[in-house]
Amino acid sequence: MKFLDKYQLLKKSIPVPALYQGLFTENCESVDYTYQSKNCYYCFDAARLTDSMYTIIGWGNNLVDCLSVTESEKCYQCIDSNKCHNSTYLLDCNSCTDCHFSAFLISCTDCFGCVGLAHKQYCIFNKQYAKEEYIKKLKKLEKEDPQKIFNQMLTIKKSIPHPASQQFNNENCAYGDYVYNSKNCYWCFNSYYSENSGYSYTSGVMKNSWDMFFSGGSLLEKMVPCERCYECVDTDICYNCGFLKGCTSCTNCFYSTDLRNCTDCFGCVGLSNKKYCILNNQLTKEKYNEALASIKRELGWKV
């Protein structure tokens, strides 16, 4: 029987967790694929998310009903926005504070119903106001039907051109969308703090990594990148790994699933704190290297 067939049989023989919660996750209820998060409810595909609920692809604090919102706090009903604070009903906004019912804003403060502005303050439906007048009009608008306000903003949005892709603070990141604080990345989407990487989706804090899906490094106090990885899914803080699913803090591991803190494992499932294992069998370093060379030849790797 070939190696990959044995690996598939091993995967089918070992129970998998019903929900995926990574390391450093605390007091999170009804969540899935949530990592390094605390006090969250009904959140999915989230990392470093705190005191939030009903959010998908989130990173920040106090996010409610948000989708693809990163490095933000105190936001409600925001979509595809980055580094925003105390804002509601935003679409494709970056570095905004106290903005509402707006789209395609960059570094704006106290804007309402605006589209396509940059470095502006005290604007309503793209019209500039003095601070006192802005506050007065805002109090009246707060009493109106939110759907009516949103429709008015959408009317403005249709008349203003917007960029083909959303990028912020990047260098040499062609052919991607929703890429933030990255360098030399190609064909990345919903990616952040990445370097020399490509073909990734909803991944971040990584270097020299390709074909990644919801994978990356640590977002805790000190960012630790996922580095030299290939074809990884739901995997974080790994180095020199490939073809992993649901693994955390692993080095030199390949073709494996649900590993924690493992090194030099090949074709393994559900192991923790292990080294020199193949198909979940413990080997000596010498036997491991000998068996690994044979498997790599079978898989067509250069040995």
Quick one: pLDDT band at residue 35, thresholds 50, 70, 90? confident
What pLDDT is stored for residue 24 in this prediction?
79
What pLDDT is stored for residue 17 in this prediction?
81
What pLDDT is stored for residue 3 in this prediction?
96
* Residue from 76, 32, 86 nearest 66 by CA: 76
* Residue from 249, 221, 250, 219 nearest 46 by CA: 219
Q: Is pLDDT at 169 greater than 80 in this prediction?
A: yes
Q: 39-89 pLDDT, tens per residue?
A: 999 999 998 999 999 999 999 999 999 999 999 999 999 999 999 999 999
* pLDDT over 90 percentage in the chain: 88
Contact yes or no for 96/81 (Cβ under 8 A)? yes
Q: Is pLDDT at 303 greater than 90 in this prediction?
A: no
Q: 260-286 pLDDT, tens per residue?
A: 999 999 999 999 999 999 999 999 999
What pLDDT is stored for residue 222 in this prediction?
80
Query: In whole angstroms, what is the distance from residue 260 CA to residue 268 CA?
Result: 11
Quick one: pLDDT band at residue 16, thresholds 50, 70, 90? confident
Q: 211-239 pLDDT, tens per residue?
A: 999 999 987 778 899 999 999 999 999 99
Look-up of token digits 């030099």: 264
Q: Is pLDDT at 21 greater than 90 in this prediction?
A: no
Q: State how far the alpha carbon of 193 is from the alpha carbons of 183, 190, 203, 208, in Å.
A: 8, 11, 9, 12
Domain ranges of the chain: 17-73, 93-161, 167-299
Contacts of residue 58, Cβ cutoff 8 Å, sequence gap at least 6 = 43, 45, 46, 49, 52, 66, 68, 69, 70
